[in-house]
A and B are shown apart, each in its own frame.
Chain A
Amino acid sequence: DSGVTQTPKHLITATGQRVTLRCSPRSGDLSVYWYQQSLDQGLQFLIQYYNGEERAKGNILERFSAQQFPDLHSELNLSSLELGDSALYFCASSPHVGGSYNEQFFGPGTRLTVL
């Protein structure tokens, strides 16, 4: 158990819908990351937040958005869902930013299926 929690574990929805994935980082961790793992694209970095502020963006679609709240939990919002959005979405957290020992601890993931 990494200490990072993600809800829900599984999500099945239809095309065109909107969903919210939730992540609670390890106690004390200020950085939160979102990654997408799909068969086509592999594991891809989506976005990073640090202490409530967006720090870096990766290959995140405009239909996707995220935020980190004052209590440091984060949500990833996916809208106008398409079949290709079906994937495993990981949240990770780390104590701070940068440095060799800023290890990212991964949550168990949310499996999203778009029908």
Chain B
Amino acid sequence: AQTVTQSQPEMSVQEAETVTLSCTYDTSESDYYLFWYKQPPSRQMILVIRQEAYKQQNATENRFSVNFQKAAKSFSLKISDSQLGDAAMYFCAYRSAENRDDKIIFGKGTRLHILP
């Protein structure tokens, strides 16, 4: 079974600084997708960024980028120029591309605080 581990329950960063959230996963599959979701205080789940495992190039979305290390099964999220609106719980997530289902497996989350 696949697992997703986020070892940092909480992190803090100064506004305008850069922060990196860590994530490791375990799978025997070779084809899969990885995601970072943001859950602000409103509780809405928002997709931040997506990475296909077959792509070597790291995904970027504006101030958000990932460092995908397939051999190490590592998938970290870097937030540049942190803003107050980035304060939220961030979930790393996995979805198989080989299974019949589309279930997403989530990590336990990292709560990110932005210090003004």
Residues of A in contact with B (beta carbons under 8 Å apart): 2, 31, 33, 35, 42-45, 48, 55-56, 58, 88, 90, 92, 94, 97-98, 100, 102-104, 106, 108-109
Contacts and interface: CB of A to CB of B under 8 A. Distances in A.
Contacts of A33: 102-104
B104 to A, nearest CB: 6
Nearest to B47: A103
Nearest to A57: B101
A48 B103 contact: yes
A2 B44 contact: yes
Q: Can you list the 9 inter-chain pairs with the closest CB atoms, starting with the nearest?
A: A56-B101, A106-B45, A45-B103, A43-B106, A100-B52, A42-B108, A109-B43, A58-B103, A48-B101
Given A31-B102, A100-B52, A43 B97 contact: no
Given A43-B91, A106-B45, A94 B102 contact: yes
A55 B42 CA distance: 30
**A contact patch SS:** strand
A109 B42 CA distance: 10
B102 A97 contact: yes
Contacts of A106: 44-46
A89 B13 CA distance: 30
A90 B45 contact: yes
Interface residues on B, range: 20 to 34
A56 B106 contact: no
Contact of A98 (B46, B102, B105): B102
A90 B108 CA distance: 16
Contacts of A90: 45
Nearest to A55: B101
Interface string B74-106: 000000000000000001000001011111111
A100 B33 contact: yes
B104 A104 contact: yes
Given A31-B102, A42-B109, A56-B103, 12 more contacts: A42-B106, A43-B109, A56-B101, A90-B45, A97-B100, A97-B102, A100-B50, A100-B97, A102-B102, A106-B46, A109-B43, A109-B44
A88 B106 contact: no
Contacts of B100: 55-56, 97
